[in-house]
């Protein structure tokens, strides 16, 4: 034990300097990695936001569905029940477009 304390008394400062220097360099590279990751995250968030802004809303999807149902009814050439449904579809489309 006496040898260890003598060794530390003699060499402690010389050993501490390189260790502190190595730890300092490690923390510098960590900060650079954090900054790089933060920039990549911002780019991805902006890309996701632009994709979300371009996507259709629920009302748009419902309107398009009703319009396709109306086209299908018109193409099948049936009469009384389908005419009533077409007028209901027109009313629903009108109310959904007014909500925008």
Model pLDDT for residues 23-72, shown as the tens digit of each residue:
887 777 777 788 889 999 999 998 888 776 666 677 778 888 888 888 88
With contact defined as beta carbons under 8 Å apart, do 65 and 93 qualify? Answer: no
Residues in Cβ contact with 60 at an 8 Å cutoff, skipping those fewer than 6 apart: none
Is there a single domain that holds both residue 16 and residue 30? yes
Model pLDDT for residues 9-30, shown as the tens digit of each residue:
888 888 888 888 888 877 777 7
With contact defined as beta carbons under 8 Å apart, do 89 and 66 qualify? Answer: yes
Number of structural domains (the chain) is: 2
End-to-end CA distance of the chain: 82
Is there a single domain that holds both residue 61 and residue 85? yes
Structure tokens at 33: 């990695």
Is there a single domain that holds both residue 31 and residue 6? yes
pTM: 0.38
Model pLDDT for residues 78-96, shown as the tens digit of each residue:
666 677 788 888 888 888 8
With contact defined as beta carbons under 8 Å apart, do 34 and 50 qualify? Answer: no
Is there a single domain that holds both residue 64 and residue 35? no
């Amino acid at each position: 034990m006496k040898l260890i304390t003598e060794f530390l008394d003699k060499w402690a400062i010389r050993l501490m300097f390189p260790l502190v220097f190595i730890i300092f360099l490690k923390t510098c590279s960590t900060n650079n990695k954090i900054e790089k990751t933060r920039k990549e995250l911002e780019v991805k968030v902006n890309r996701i936001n632009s994709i979300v802004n371009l996507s259709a809303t629920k009302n748009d999807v419902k309107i398009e569905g009703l319009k396709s149902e109306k086209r299908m009814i018109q193409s099948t050439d049936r009469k009384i029940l389908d005419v009533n449904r077409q007028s209901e579809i027109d009313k629903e489309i009108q109310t959904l477009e007014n909500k925008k």
